[in-house]
Amino acid sequence: MFNGGVIEEGAGGPGLGECLAGAVRTVWAKHDRATDGWLPLWRHMADSAAVAGLLWDRWLPRNVQALVAGPLPGGMEDARRLAVWCAAGHDVGKATPAFACQVDALADRMRAVGLDMPGPKQVGDDRRMAPHGLAGQLLIQEWLVERFGWPERATVQFAVVAGGHHGVPPGHGQILDLDHHPELLRTPGPSEPVWRRVQTELLDACADVYGVRDRLPHWQRVRLPQPVQVVLTALVVVADWIASNPDLFPYFPEEHPRGDAARVAAAWRGLRLPGPWSPAVPAGTAGEVFATRFDLPPGARVRPVQEEAVRLARSMLAPGLMVIEAPMGEGKTEAALAVAEIFAARSGAGGVFVALPTMATGSAMFPRLLDWLDRLPPDGLDDTTPEGRERSVLLAHSKAALNEPYADLLRAGRHTIAAVDQFGDEDQLRPSDDVRSAPAELVAHQWLRGRKKGLLASFAVGTIDQLLMAGLKSRHLALRHLAFAGKVVVIDEAHAYDAWMNTYLDRVLAWLGAYRVPVVVLSATLPAARRRELAQAYAGGTRDDAEGYAVLAEAGGYPLLTAVAPGTDPEIAVPAASGRRTEVRLERLDDDLDVLADRLEAELAGGGCALVVRNTVDRVLEAAEHLRARFGEKAVTVAHARFLDLDRAGKDARLLELFGPPGEDGTPPQRPQRRHIVVASQVAEQSLDVDFDLLVSDLCPVDLLLQRMGRLHRHRRSDRPARLRAARCLVTGVDWTATPAPLPVSGSRRVYGEYLLLRSLAVLEPHFADTPDAGVVVRLPEDISPLVQRAYGSEPQGPAAWAEAVAEARRAHEAHRARQRHGADVFRLDRVRRAGRPLVGWIDAGVGDADDTRAGRAQVRDGQESLEVLVVRRRADGTLTTVPWLGQGLGGLELPTDAVPSPRAARAVAASGLRLPYHFSYPRVLNRAIEELEEWCVPAWQAKECHWLAGELILALDDGPGGDCQTRLAGFQLRYNPHDGLRVIRDGTERQGDG
């Protein structure tokens, strides 16, 4: 039980070490080759159990505790005992010849007391058949059968926790192989009974000390759901990792003058692991909640969709899935955070994860999350301890350390978990008095860093990949599941994902539903069929009645809120519109650069700002070059995804500075005094709160075109030029004269597919006008949902003459989606199985150690790896510098090749990351590019202390004509400048690029 930060191993009874004597005390668990120190197995088992108890009491969210307690007859008390017992027994497989033979001196000590074993060379490769996790699983199963009469099938669901504690539950074939080699578990001959006695003594002692002996007869009838097995495995992994840290649990002689409790208490104080969030349901009206949680502009009022979201979150039978569909700029993010607070209070979730489409949108969201966290009230944690004051936070993507708010937290939270003085004064380990007086200290906790542990932080913002990888068969998947099981999950821009990604998302939602994880999904343009799929995926583990969800595909109204609670019919709410309204006139524009320039010259004759959105980067660059020749260099800005990280961040900041909303003090943006044109790719579609007077857009799927229209007349302004006071969108990128149907340009067809483009064009037909005064305007937000539902529905759309072309495009579209779903299925996690089905083989045939790697991200996105490089400048003499144009004094810094660069220079290089376009995703080109880049590897930069650059691919650019930097890679010529970004050229011709 927990008592003031100390684990008591029993109800006043002896500890594990006191219950064991003789040969069992020679069995070893840890060995340090540098010092020749070692740790007895019983000691590590006791440490792990103690840590598991502390994690249960001080770190694990209430909803995860309740999940484990659900199937157990003794409820929460049984659940805690089970978790501690699983942690205690997880390494019992080390009490086998296959493990113990590895260190000669320690093996000899065991041989001396009758635990005979062959040497490692005699065992040979057979040792691989008996990893200690699997060995422990089989020993626990055998013990439950022999000592307590359990049916063998009932044992696996409990013992598999030990089997999977190194990241991968065993497969059926592995179990069968080890069954055929019992000598790996016990050496045959006179020592076999000694081995058996030692193994039984360890398991008997764990049962007695951790209070499960009397409970085991009751548990044999329990059918543990797979989600319970997963979180127990993950909890044991965390406990094992902590107990294996020699700084926290140093090797020492068995006797300890102050006892085991002091050892554990000192380690816990040294770890300072922040506890879970524990909010109360916020009181007051929605307006009062929003006023205290968010930095609202003066005079701002809560919007109807926000008010309804709060009401629904409070009134649902139980927290579940909420889908919020509302126009751009309606405050969906704030609504989601308000709902997350209510859901967390009602469910016991201990944190929030916000998933966004890209690293850029994730980085933009992170400061907003921090601001919200700073405004939350105290939540009842014990603020006399460090972990009581702190909330752990994470920015979960590969460029997180370059985000300034997160980097500040990393620097503030940087402390070494030093060796703990177990005999020292406890006061020396207490935090200093100069702590922040905010409701909670936000920390990027040192121990919770890295790919494996990071998501265990209470609050996290990351790319959607991080969530989708919860559906990817990969090593240590249980840790990722535990991370999400204890949080409210917010999924933004749900319309932005293709069939491949949705295949993973649906499976992840099924598991989240099984964990009873509250989920909030946000979208401005969600097709009704997709709404139904999301709801059914989430409820699939608890409800088989698909007919109850038919209403979701038929629901009308916009904005629209959908709520799905376990065991209940879906609930739909249609809040009133906020009153914000824009009418947009649509016009066709021929796909000719002279036509584009002429039209912009006419429209901007009296000044104003236009946004031109193209569907490929090469079309962006082609249009920008032509428009600069007409309007001048300073009148045209380029924005797309092929910029260095720092350059792109600067582009986004500059766009917000020029075209964004008023500042917090009401100061208007510094809009250009004369006409200005921004030519952008799809980066302008989402998460940039910018406002333009005129939009020119390539044809794209209607939901994305509506997103682009959301950048038209977004903010109330009185200074728009007279000609541009009516919002207009000119649609181009189409051969309007083609027969039998208009033909989108090839780049658009490649990116989106012809079928979705033709369907979108068909539903927009009534809205096109040949002159600004004709046609039917597109009304935002009223027309958003009807247009999206018609475009993505099954009813025929468009003129009869288009029917054959549309039918052919549909066949190609459906074949492509089928290929995507099939490809995603290869490594996708299986659905949640029936209760009692053990996790054996859970992630067989998986991708291995994928996590946040190129291969992992590619698997959950589109099946192709994208290549990312760090860009440096190479002078004519071969010396290297950072690229010269970087601001803040980071440009032109020397980069020695015979030593580690300065921390400032190394960070500048890390911030000069560039994701190469699709040309380099094809296997042959990708492999060739990697080979060429690895030839330029700088050995000195691979040193451990050069963490910014070690293991990264470096692309060196030479000075070129006209201020460009250039190089050749895998048969392509690359040209880069900070104004236009990257151009990719092959054989003298530029190729279509990605957005």
pLDDT per residue over 574-616, tens digit each? 998 877 788 999 999 999 999 999 999 999 999 999 999 999 9
- pLDDT, one tens digit per residue, over 790-832 is 999 889 999 999 999 999 999 999 999 898 888 888 889 999 9
Tell me the one-letter amino acid at 617.
Answer: V
In a domain, 844, yes or no: no
855 contacts 865 by C-beta, under 8 angstroms: yes
Q: Are residues 599 and 569 in the same domain?
A: no
- pLDDT, one tens digit per residue, over 501-537 is 889 999 999 999 999 999 999 998 899 989 999 999 9
Least confident of 127-131, 538-542, 593-597, 699-703: 538-542
Q: How confident is the model at residue 382 (pLDDT cuts 50, 70, 90)?
A: very low
Task: Name the residue with tokens 């978990």.
Answer: 417
Q: Are residues 604 and 688 in the same domain?
A: yes
**CATH number for position 184:** 1.10.3210.30
Q: How confident is the model at residue 991 (pLDDT cuts 50, 70, 90)?
A: very low
* Residue 846 φ/ψ, nearest 5 degrees: -90, -170
| 3-state SS, one letter per residue, for 943-978 | CCCCCCCCCCCEEEEEECHHHCEEEEECCEEEEEEC
pLDDT > 60? residue 726: yes
Q: Are residues 660 and 725 in the same domain?
A: yes
- Indicate the DSSP class of residue 369: H
In a domain, 431, yes or no: no
**CATH number for position 608:** 3.40.50.300
Residue 36: per-residue pLDDT: 85
Q: Are residues 720 and 807 in the same domain?
A: yes
In the chain, the percentage of residues whose pLDDT exceeds 70 is: 88
pLDDT > 60? residue 3: no
- pLDDT, one tens digit per residue, over 290-314 is 999 998 777 778 999 999 999 999 9
- Identify which of 478, 473, 472 has the alpha carbon closest to the alpha carbon of residue 453: 478
Summary mean pLDDT of the chain:
88
In a domain, 588, yes or no: yes
Q: Are residues 760 and 799 in the same domain?
A: yes
Which of 573, 595, 610 is where one domain is finished? 573
Q: How confident is the model at residue 432 (pLDDT cuts 50, 70, 90)?
A: very low
Q: Are residues 747 and 808 in the same domain?
A: yes
pLDDT > 90? residue 217: yes
Which of 542, 573, 604 is where one domain is finished? 573
User: 760 versus 669: which is more confidently predicted?
Assistant: 760
In a domain, 279, yes or no: no
In a domain, 93, yes or no: yes
Residue 995: per-residue pLDDT: 47
In a domain, 783, yes or no: yes
Q: Are residues 292 and 220 in the same domain?
A: no
- pLDDT, one tens digit per residue, over 235-292 is 999 999 999 998 889 886 555 556 678 889 889 988 888 999 999 999 999 999 999 9
Q: Are residues 180 and 300 in the same domain?
A: no
H or E element: which one contains 514?
Answer: helix 499-514
Helix, coil or strand: residue 570? coil
Q: How confident is the model at residue 772 (pLDDT cuts 50, 70, 90)?
A: low
pLDDT > 50? residue 418: no
Q: Are residues 364 and 498 in the same domain?
A: yes
Residue 256: per-residue pLDDT: 52
pLDDT > 50? residue 384: no
Q: Are residues 639 and 773 in the same domain?
A: yes
Q: How confident is the model at residue 358 (pLDDT cuts 50, 70, 90)?
A: confident
Q: Mean of the pLDDT values across residues 906-929? A: 90
Q: How confident is the model at residue 717 (pLDDT cuts 50, 70, 90)?
A: confident
Least confident of 29-33, 745-749, 852-856: 852-856
pLDDT > 80? residue 667: no
Phi-psi region at 12: left, alpha or beta (left = phi > 0; alpha = psi -120 to 50): left
pLDDT > 50? residue 131: yes
In a domain, 826, yes or no: no
- Identify which of 713, 715, 625, 716 has the alpha carbon closest to the alpha carbon of residue 677: 625
Q: Are residues 502 and 611 in the same domain?
A: no
Write out the residue range of the structural domain in which residue 553 sits. Answer: 286-422+437-573
pLDDT > 70? residue 11: no
Q: How far is CA 971 from the centre of its chain?
A: 34
pLDDT > 80? residue 699: yes
Which of 210, 242, 270 is where one domain is finished? 270
In a domain, 330, yes or no: yes
The total of structural domains in the chain comes to 4
Q: Are residues 516 and 648 in the same domain?
A: no
Phi-psi region at 189: left, alpha or beta (left = phi > 0; alpha = psi -120 to 50): left
